[in-house]
Chains A and B, each alone.
Chain A
Amino acid sequence: MTHPAHRSRRVAGFLALLGAAGLLVTAKAATAPSPRPVLLASGPAGPTATTPSGRPGPGRATTAAGAPASTARPTGAPAGALTRTVLGTAEDVSYGTVQVSVKLRHGRIVDVTAVQLPSGGRSSQLAAYSAPLLRQEVLAAQSARIDTVSGASYTSQGYAQSVQSALDAARS
């Protein structure tokens, strides 16, 4: 995996309006020129915590260093029995940076959203389109008329690694 000549550290704002309750978290990478506001929505079921992944990769400024301390797992709640959103590490891929946040319920993924995506490619709009496929798929499950979604997908080792790091952090 090569390091890119320039790293995409663009501000990525996300409005994830899944549930009625919303939890605002400001996540700021240490070397990012500006804060990245991230709005992580929690599902209606159960308490929610947002945990920055604690596994920064080599040479990366990755985790949500600015996340408030209150995002730790609530004491007394079993690890697998709540809905929470975990930020994965930022992974450098040859054409930019990939970072996801993963929402888990009872320890299983129920949603993945991209916090950072490579800004290159044919257009930034098309680059932004691909990662939400999974989100769309998750939402399709709530529509009586659509059961799932097919589309050109976001695939890279970095994407899978960022998801995995969030899972690792959630289980640690």
Chain B
Amino acid sequence: MTRGLRLVATMGTVVTIDVRTALPAAEMRTALDRAEQVLHRAELMFSTYRPGSWVSRLRRGEVGTDELPAEVSRVLALCGQVAELTDGAFSARWRSDRTPDPTGLVKGWAAGRAGRLLSALGAVDHCVNAAGDLALAGRPAPGHGWRVGIADPRAPGALLGAVGSVDGFPVGAGGRGWAVATSGIAERGRHVVDPRTGRPATGLLSATVVGPDPALADGLATALLAAGPAAAELLDRWRPAGWRGCLLTDSGQLVDPDGLLSPPAPASSAHGDNPSVGSRG
């Protein structure tokens, strides 16, 4: 099989597993099955909607942090690291009751886990898209790098532009995989809370980051949205470690200091071929 595609309803959304490595049918199916299992396991461990998840039990005080499985402990530790690296703009303890909830980076973490497993199973060219949090590796087709459209939150179906992998950036692109994450205004309006104030974050409509790790990408994008006016400064601190980003402010200004975005495609190609992309309301 030259392409394997699977859409998985999990973690409150639908995750796309897209494999472009040509594999024998049985190996492709195994790779997709195993990657799907990783996502479902993440849901079972971390969902705040599931009373029996480790996170739910931890939040109710039924288990101590020393009783958690290693994966849950690692994710919570990662949350702590991202909190330090963002001056608290990201925090697992963003809820008013201060109970831990790693939702802000767990989708990216799960996508990254699924991606690494795909690579280990020979599916080295893949994209795991956890509803906007992406783990990417390899190439979508011979001679081409992955190109990721960034959704425009002001216009359903429209794109702000596209991000592509080029030689040497993002760090790890090609061999080790890379990540794209977008955080923004979504279904509940301003649903990202600034953990430092407890109030909904303001200043940005969306924040997109590109870098070497999907879990960190998810956390950083969340932090940038929470940081609002301070997001550009925060991004500067991550840049030396191989991170890039672009921001869309409340006033509609696109802040793209690294020239990350390119036009998604000529109008005739991006929208003309798929009228429903541009015309949905």
Q: A110 to B276, Cβ gap below 8 A?
A: no
Q: A153 to B132, Cβ gap below 8 A?
A: yes
A60 within 8 A of B: no
- CB-CB under 8 A from B140, the residues of chain A are 147
Q: B156 to A147, Cβ gap below 8 A?
A: no
Contact for A160 among B5, B11, B265, B281, CB less than 8 A = B11
Q: How many A residues touch B, CB cutoff 8 Å?
A: 53
**Per-position 1/0 for A13-45, Cβ under 8 A of B:** 001111000000000000000000000000000
> Which B residue sits closest to A113, measured CB to CB?
B280
Q: How many B residues touch A, CB cutoff 8 Å?
A: 61
A146 within 8 A of B: yes
**Per-position 1/0 for A120-162, Cβ under 8 A of B:** 1111011111111111110111111111111111111101100
A18 to B281, CA, bound (A): 15
Among B70-78, B144-152, B228-236, B251-259, the one that faces the other chain is: B144-152
Binding site for B on A (CB under 8 A): 1, 15-18, 95, 108-110, 112, 117-118, 120-123, 125-137, 139-157, 159-160, 163-164, 167
**Per-position 1/0 for B253-281, Cβ under 8 A of A:** 00000000000110001100111110111
Pairs of residues from A and B, 10 with the lowest C-beta to C-beta distance, nearest first:
A151-B151, A152-B184, A122-B189, A153-B131, A145-B265, A121-B189, A109-B7, A157-B49, A163-B9, A155-B12
> Which B residue sits closest to A145, measured CB to CB?
B265
**Per-position 1/0 for B129-162, Cβ under 8 A of A:** 1011110000010000011111111111101001
